[in-house]
Structure 1
Amino acid sequence: MRSRAAPWSLLGLAVLLALPWLLPQLLPQGQAQFWTASILGRAIVFGIIAMSLTFLATYGGFVSLAQMMIAGIAGYTLAIFVEGAVPRVVGLLGYGAAIPLALLAATAMGILMGAISLRSRDIYLLMITLALGMGVFRFIETNIAWFNGYEGIRNVVGPSLFGLDFRNALVFYHAALGTAALLYFGILYLVKTPFGLVLQGIRDNPRRVAALGYAVGLHRIAAFGVAGFIAGCGGVLSTIYNIGISPGSIGLGATVNILIMSVIGGLGHPIGAFIGSLIFTVLDTFAATIYDRDRFNTLIGLAFLAIVLVSPDGAIGVGARLRRLLTAQPRPASRVCGEVRSRPPSTRTAKEEPP
């Protein structure tokens, strides 16, 4: 499946690049812009954060519930140091310097997370990462001097790209899509390198990998650092998309949403993060018209149960099963009435024949 993923991914990228130009031909202007920014753009941003979790789970066997918190660290770092944010905390840097600093902070937090949870696995890893994420959330929520408490930091409008306004729906969409494509193909390349192969060996049998002489702990910490960088990219884009950041964006609800996106899409391949994010975003946006705004959790829970029960490996598993059904060749009958199938001569003698 992975050998065929790159060509299909390139085709999907081409479709996504052309989609904002095709939507105005199919929908009214207001709806086309709404779908470009509020559906597709938002799905790409949260898909990047979900892909950081998918990377850890698929290739390392680690399921972390702290990826939304790490994305929030990047967002808050950007909001604290960039010029023009309200209220001003530091505000000394332009976006060209504040964005790399935010990504560095997210990577460092990912490395710290990997070091803290180094000796834990399975449910214990889930609990440690969730506890750390909620601890950081509570600290940010109650800190006024640096994070402005409950209200958060606003007016993070984003940089100017080649003289184009980042608030423009098309500009933001293509910037988010380009970032997602670079990270996605970067993961596909990374997992084929010696580092990626060792990481997959750690997922399957860490003791055997350690016996071969590899530093299991260092590879695991490095994997959390890579996932932290990916989540940081999503956190920066999310902060610009929301024109600011508040503690609610990294709380328990947001953390669970990222996990749901990853599971719905499928943990077998990084593309599943974006598929799950798109499904979740559509349900979240149209829940009020589909069912009831106050019953959104019921709706997403039913969709989650339906996909998991039909296919434990998510939406990409459903697609793989449909493809196998459509391409399956009918097996020829082993015996036709009136026809005797030839058999190779028996090596037994007459005396050896069973009664």
Structure 2
Amino acid sequence: MSLMSRSHWILTALVLAILVSMPLLLPDFWLSGILGRSLIYGIVALSITFLASYGGFISLAQTMLAGIAGYTVAILAPTAIPASASAVSYWLAMPLAVLAATVAGAVVGLIAIRTRDIYLLMITLALAVGFSLFAQSNIDWFNGYEGIRNVVGPDLFGLPFRTHAVFYYVSLTLAALLYVLVLYVVRTPFGLVLQGIRDNPRRVAALGYNVAVHRIAAFAMAGFIAGCGGVLITFYNIGITPGSIGMTATVNVLVMSVIGGLGHPVGAFIGAVIFTLIDTFAATIYDRDRFNTLIGLVFLGIVVASPDGVLGLGKRLTGWGKRKDTEDGGTPH
């Protein structure tokens, strides 16, 4: 293990230890309303970052996939209003919801298999908007515009899931596991082939790899990640509506990914924290009727100053990227 790799994991462990201690330091509002919310939306943003950084795909369908998981767990939830005849326990509903998002991710990959760049963006955007409108118009399954309410999640260790500490620790644990999963997968043969496809798909195909299958598998994995986030978001919001997975939500998650930085999985969570802080306090800082203007100005400022987001800006300021390249024997950039 190289020195930079070792220091990276030491820093990761230190940050994780600080996050674990947060319930002892922060009030409930900051614990669940800021950090917890950042973690669950960061998970959905992580699915975008995974596809963009290691596959070369910018997908706008990830909020839709999170919504598919959210609606699945809501329809099957035993406490949901309106109640469903197909209700099961939360412990069965949650894995079924994530499975539904994973399968839907593979379907999105199958649809978008031969497209890239702006064409991929438009196809995935059309899918996301189409699903939101379908949910809004469907009464039998999704209860139309009102959505499904009272999806509170299971009890854990005898405590309601929405207990601030319980919700925070579950969100933190799942976010950490998915973050490590992405870092592991991109170092496996599958991940290396995926990165090869990102750089030169024709050369990878010439080596005998099935480019289409790897792309579909990448979208399926991204769907799995987004589905995990979608389940937690549904519990956080105590339900789900078409508005929570519509155009605004889709753009918000994309903004989180971009301002954090698409070059590394941690950028998704950095962007989610920044966006959540601005979204929460912008009305107080600027103007309650124009708080979206402040969000837009911050987004533009970050992108103009650093096209690769806050993470890229931090690397340039600290020289981390140059040190890593030099140590690995490459040319500093």
Per the shorter chain, which TM-score range? over 0.9
Deviations 1:228-287 (A, max 9, x none): 000000000000001000000100000000100000000000000000000000000001
Give the 3-state SS of the residue equivalent to 2:290 in structure 1.
Answer: helix
Instruction: Give the equivalent residue in structure 2 for 1:16.
Output: 19
Give the 3-state SS of the residue equivalent to 2:114 in structure 1.
Answer: coil
Distance 1:250 1:165 in 2: 25
Distance 1:203 1:212 in 2: 15
Distance 1:85 1:139 in 2: 20
Alignment of 1:1-355 (within 5 A): 4-23=7-26, 32-324=27-319
Greater alpha carbon shift after TM alignment, 116-125 vs 84-93: 84-93
**Residue 90 of structure 1: CA displacement?**
3.1
Greater alpha carbon shift after TM alignment, 85-94 vs 74-83: 85-94
Aligned partner letter, 2:48: L
* Unaligned stretches of 5+ residues in structure 2: 324-333
Deviations 1:289-325 (A, max 9, x none): 1101221221111111111111111011121122129
**Residue 91 of structure 1: CA displacement?**
4.3
Distance 1:214 1:178 in 2: 35
* CA 1:114–1:284: 2 relative to 1, 3 Å: same
Q: TM-score, normalised by structure 2?
A: 0.93
Instruction: Give the equivalent residue in structure 2 for 1:334.
Output: none
What is the RMSD computed on CA atoms of the aligned residues? 1.4
The structure with the largest alpha-carbon Rg is 1
Percent identity of paired positions between Structure 1 and Structure 2: 65
* Count of aligned positions: 319
* Unaligned stretches of 5+ residues in structure 1: 24-31, 329-355
Aligned partner letter, 2:15: G
**Residue 7 of structure 1: CA displacement?**
2.6
Aligned partner letter, 2:249: A
Distance 1:144 1:83 in 2: 19
Distance 1:197 1:93 in 2: 40
Q: TM-score, normalised by structure 1?
A: 0.88
**Residue 82 of structure 1: CA displacement?**
1.6
**Residue 2 of structure 1: CA displacement?**
6.6
Aligned partner letter, 1:258: V
Distance 1:211 1:6 in 2: 36
Asked whether the 8 Å contact 1:84–1:91 carries over to 2, the reply is no
